[in-house]
Amino acid sequence: MSYHAPRGVNDLLPQTAQAHLWIESIAHEVFSRYGYVLIETPLFELTEVFVRGIGEATDVVGKEMFGVYSGAAAGKLVVGETLKADEQLSLRPEGTAGVARAVVEHGLVPPGSPVAKYWYAGSMFRHERPQKGRLREFHQIGAECIGAAEPSSDAEVIIMLMRFFETLGLSRDSMRLYVNSMGDATCRPAYREAVRAFILDNAESLCDECVRRAETNPLRAFDCKNPSCNTIMAAAPLITDMLCEQCAEHYATVRELLDVAGLVYEENPRLVRGLDYYTRTVFEVQVDVGLGSQNAIGGGGRYDGLIEEFGGKHTPGLGFAVGIERILLALQAQDIQAGKVPVPEVFIAAVDGKARTVAFRIALALRDAGLAVELDHQNRSLKSQFKLADKLGVSCVIVLGPDELASHTATLRYMDTGEERCVPLDTLTDILSEPIKT
């Protein structure tokens, strides 16, 4: 039997793993400027955390979660016993619910405390049909700004997201930023009802799924994959016409501040994000090239009711998540190299066994001095060590043989020019720590 990774799940081979690391390092750099600190929550949580946080009627919770069962719980399932709530665990399909749970559990944002800003990076799991840019294990970077109610925080989060994409090198012209307001507990119920009524009025022309959504999650009908449903939903009532005064004012200020920042965006009154917790501002960034139909590279919004869902005091907040795999596809389409696998700077070639011991010692000293050093561990001939050094792409080879050992020296060969020089062993660290001259 030959083994392979499960469907929709990829190995991150060194080139890709390095690219992920590079993207995360840019996130760290950009987000730090805005006051964000790293948080890590578990890869799996009580299923109830996602049901509460994301919403039972969402596709993510209703159809896409991977369960996690311990031996005992799996045994109970086999015999058809019901699992207790604390035996029902799921792999996280997104990061916000876990962060909100942690905020409440550890009392991280008590009333009156300053805004807490967290970012995270890690695997998320959704049982979706795999295709380009859509995986079952994928990697997100996310940010959550908790305790902030003012529209300036919405604008700041969106600006930070766009700065992150720009710092990665994605051209501004290749990205489209969509914004909308989904209203709040005052105005959304009436809007939901209006969309529900619209769907029922048009039930004959809409797909079965959309008609079902009328009762469970009517706004999701805007996201139907079926083009004929999209055409019909284009005539549905728009939230922007039904926002209450406070929501309309909040949304207007967000747009005003995006203008202040010079951000180009499009208002999209049909943008409804797939998770239940959003209130007021929502946003999404799409790219034109490289991704086909899975063209959203990131999105997010405000979730003023979420912390209360987990038993906390009313605490407004908002955040976003971006998909690393999709960002990589977008970067590739724009010929942007995302991080390089590091190459050693120096290779130490040893002529014989005695020289190998010295080479080993020198390698340690040079690495401790901050240089990336490689040497042979396969008992290669000197010629083969040089070939390897060349293949690795090092700029300088240190040659150690009987003559060098006798005179406490080393021969340095610069690979670009072939130039050689003999230097005392105790000056190696100093010489090599200088920028290598060729």
Residue 153 CA to residue 254 CA, distance in Å, equals: 8
Considering only 138, 251, 265, 303, the residue that binds ligand AMP (CB under 6 A) is 138
Here the tokens at position 289 are 């090239």
Which residues share a beta bridge with 194? none
Q: Does 328 bind ligand AMP (CB under 6 A)?
A: no
Q: Draw the binding track, 264-303, toward ligand AMP (x: CB under 6 A; -: no contact).
A: ----------x---------------------xxxx----
How many Cβ atoms are within 10 Å of 249's Cβ, its own excluded?
12
Task: Pick the closer one to ligand AMP by CB: 59 or 404.
Answer: 59
Task: Pick the closer one to ligand AMP by CB: 329 or 398.
Answer: 329
One DSSP character per residue, 335-403 reads T---------SEEEEESSHHHHHHHHHHHHHHHHTT--EEE-SS---HHHHHHHHHHHT-SEEEEE-HH
Residue 95 CA to residue 54 CA, distance in Å, equals: 10
Residue 367 CA to residue 373 CA, distance in Å, equals: 6
Residue 167 CA to residue 185 CA, distance in Å, equals: 37
- Output the residue with the shortest Cβ distance to ligand AMP: 323
Tokens 């996690």 -> residue: 68
Which residues share a beta bridge with 90? 45, 67
Question: Could you tell me if 313 and 111 are in contact, meaning their C-beta atoms sit under 8 angstroms apart?
Answer: yes
Task: Pick the closer one to ligand AMP by CB: 95 or 312.
Answer: 95
Residue 254 CA to residue 194 CA, distance in Å, equals: 25
Residue 55 CB, shortest distance to ligand AMP, in Å, is 13
Residue 339 CB, shortest distance to ligand AMP, in Å, is 18
Residue 94 CB, shortest distance to ligand AMP, in Å, is 4
- For the beta sheet containing 37-38, the strands, ordered from the edge strand earlier in sequence to the opposite edge, are 37-38, 116-125, 137-146, 317-323, 296-302, 279-287, 175-181, 266-267
Considering only 287, 326, 331, 371, the residue that binds ligand AMP (CB under 6 A) is 326
How many Cβ atoms are within 10 Å of 188's Cβ, its own excluded?
21
Q: Does 128 bind ligand AMP (CB under 6 A)?
A: yes
Residue 96 CB, shortest distance to ligand AMP, in Å, is 8
Considering only 45, 94, 304, 374, the residue that binds ligand AMP (CB under 6 A) is 94
Task: Pick the closer one to ligand AMP by CB: 180 or 385.
Answer: 180
Task: Pick the closer one to ligand AMP by CB: 47 or 140.
Answer: 140
Residue 415 CA to residue 346 CA, distance in Å, equals: 10
Q: Does 121 bind ligand AMP (CB under 6 A)?
A: no
Residue 394 CB, shortest distance to ligand AMP, in Å, is 37
Q: Does 151 bind ligand AMP (CB under 6 A)?
A: no
Residue 8 CB, shortest distance to ligand AMP, in Å, is 8
Q: Draw the binding track, 232-251, toward ligand AMP (x: CB under 6 A; -: no contact).
A: --------------------
Residue 376 CA to residue 351 CA, distance in Å, equals: 11
Task: Pick the closer one to ligand AMP by CB: 65 or 242.
Answer: 65
Question: Could you tell me if 228 and 125 are in contact, meaning their C-beta atoms sit under 8 angstroms apart?
Answer: no
Task: Pick the closer one to ligand AMP by CB: 142 or 339.
Answer: 142
Q: Please choose, out of 193-201, 252-260, 319-327, 348-356, the segment that lies near ligand AMP by the rule CB under 6 A.
A: 319-327
Q: Does 92 bind ligand AMP (CB under 6 A)?
A: no
Q: How many residues bind ligand AMP (CB under 6 A)?
A: 18
Residue 299 CB, shortest distance to ligand AMP, in Å, is 5
One DSSP character per residue, 330-349 reads HHHHTT---------SEEEE
Q: Please choose, out of 22-30, 109-117, 132-140, 412-420, the segment that lies near ligand AMP by the rule CB under 6 A.
A: 132-140
Which positions lie near ligand AMP, rule CB under 6 A? 94, 126, 128, 133-135, 138, 140, 274, 296-299, 321-323, 325-326
